[in-house]
Amino acid sequence: MSDPSSPPPLRPPSYSAPAPGDPPRQRGVSWKRALAICAGVVVLALVALVGLGLWERRELRRELDALPTYGYTESPELASAKAGIKARDDRTARIGQVISDAMAGQSAALLGGDKATFVGYAAPGYRLGQTWLTRSFTSLRAMGVAQWTPKVDSWTPYSGTRWQSTIDVSYCFVAGCATPSTITLHTMWDLADEAHPRMTELWEYTGGQATPPWAQTVLQAKVGSRVIVAGPAATAGRFGAVLAEAEKAAKVADRYALTTTPSKYVVYLAGAKEWGRWPYGEEGDWVAGYAEPERESVVLRASSATPSFLPELLRHEMGHVSTLAGQGSKVKYADAWWLVEGMADYVAAEERPFAQYSDRPVTISFVRGKWNGDLRVGAPKKKASPADANGRYGTAYLGVSCLVQQYGRARALGFFHAVAVVGSPLTTAATEQLGVPWTTVSSTCTAQIRRTAH
């Protein structure tokens, strides 16, 4: 029993109390709630920063608006200098146009056959210029010039009303030719009357080449379908015969054109006065002709171009023009002379066997005697004897013949183009074009030359 006067017993709490000795339980915050709290803090911070920035910007704007303003006035000296520069630039541009218009008028006169206008651009007292223009007009018209396109490259004041100008001219004897020839003219102009500009000085610059024959000598000419034959009056009696043979030679040379066929071959007949003067100067005693592939032309010594030798000589020189594809006739590598001249002789021989080769006896003599067995036959010296020169050409011809026979015409021509036109070393071209090392090519063809010239 219980004592009714005692208080009732305490009820236990409605939740369990931790057991004695256990740590109290922590009521943690979830990660989502924490992230939301952080985001809120960041937003509040950004809002505060933006507000501060806007306040500072407004304050800065008030300060700037309060500053006094200043106007800018260009000084008279500076304004005058700027006006002077503009006037000078305007005058320079106008002078360039005046010279360009004059050259365009001169071109139209040449192509239209108006000699008086063409020559009339030279000042009345400038005899040398009048002579050059007269000579060039006469020669170019005789040769059937079809394109004469001047481009004013530069013009600068010289003194007073005189201006100097450099003019590049591209020309050819077939309209729209693929590879026009070029000549650079250095001129001086008197522009006291800009409506009537007058040339007071004129000289040519050909980039290391000599002046073309048409600019050195008054030429006559005879024009065919593929060839132009030109020369001084003293050689005009031979034009018909030379043109007939040259047209035949062009058909042969065209077959060896590696990239583009020449638009028209030009054959210059040099008389005694012209040989050694145009275009390269004195040649060796054994030379009968030479080629200018970059101008699609050849020069023949009239006294050496006998009826019996003329066909072969034409095929050789025109073969240079077609195979060198408008490149300079200078061999890019000294050890490739044999390839350039051997190919031209191969064209000249029309792939006939060595038994029919015109210089067979001297070639055999050279191979058996002076030749050291190197396929890279060196060029004859300027004072070489005809036998030595022709023996070297013949050996080079046998070298090229070997390339065709051993590796095929297409590969041989590819090898030639790589070395003589592109400028690749023999070692690289042999591997890439012939598929064998140069040492193999050299030993194979050296052995074949010795067997052929036994």
CA-nearest of 314, 275, 274 to 297 is: 314
**In angstroms, how far is CA 7 from the centroid of its own chain?**
123
pLDDT in tens, 399-424: 999 999 999 999 999 999 999 988 89
> Looking at residues 233-260, what average pLDDT do you find?
96
Q: Which residue has the higher pLDDT, 45 or 444?
A: 444
* % of the chain residues with pLDDT over 90: 66
Q: Which residue has the higher pLDDT, 450 or 75?
A: 450
* % of the chain residues with pLDDT over 70: 78
pLDDT(164) > 80: yes
Predicted confidence band of residue 237 (pLDDT cuts 50, 70, 90): very high
The whole-number pLDDT of residue 369 equals 95
The whole-number pLDDT of residue 260 equals 86
Residue 321, C-beta contacts closer than 8 angstroms, at least 6 positions apart: 253, 262, 265, 291, 292, 293, 296, 297, 298
What is the residue extent of each domain of the chain?
89-205, 211-330, 331-454
Rounded to the nearest 10 degrees, the angle between the axes of helix 360-368 and helix 386-407 is 90
**What is the rounded CA–CA span in Å between residue 122 and residue 141?**
19
Q: Which residue has the higher pLDDT, 146 or 70?
A: 146
Predicted confidence band of residue 5 (pLDDT cuts 50, 70, 90): very low
Query: What's the one-letter identity of residue 35?
Result: L
Range of weakest confidence among 49-53, 201-205, 272-276, 341-345:
49-53
Range of weakest confidence among 7-16, 360-369, 389-398:
7-16
Q: Which residue has the higher pLDDT, 326 or 277?
A: 277
Query: What's the one-letter identity of residue 281?
Result: G
pLDDT in tens, 107-159: 999 999 999 999 999 999 999 999 999 999 999 999 999 999 999 999 999 99
pLDDT(10) > 60: no
CATH of domain 211-330: 3.30.2010.30
Rounded to the nearest 10 degrees, the angle between the axes of helix 337-348 and helix 310-323 is 130
How much is the CA Rg of the chain, to the nearest whole Å?
43
The whole-number pLDDT of residue 330 equals 57
- Give the chain's mean pLDDT: 85
Most confident of 77-91, 194-208, 259-273: 259-273
The whole-number pLDDT of residue 271 equals 94
pLDDT(7) > 80: no
**What is the rounded CA–CA span in Å between residue 142 and residue 169?**
19
DSSP assignments along 258-293, one per residue = SS---S-EEEEEE-TTTTTTSSS----TT--EEEEG
Q: Give me the CATH topology for the region 89-205.
A: Nuclear Transport Factor 2; Chain: A, (3.10.450)
The whole-number pLDDT of residue 296 equals 93
pLDDT in tens, 260-302: 899 999 999 999 999 988 766 566 788 999 998 888 999 999 9
**What is the rounded CA–CA span in Å between residue 248 and residue 340?**
22
pLDDT(45) > 60: no
pLDDT(230) > 90: yes
pLDDT(82) > 90: no
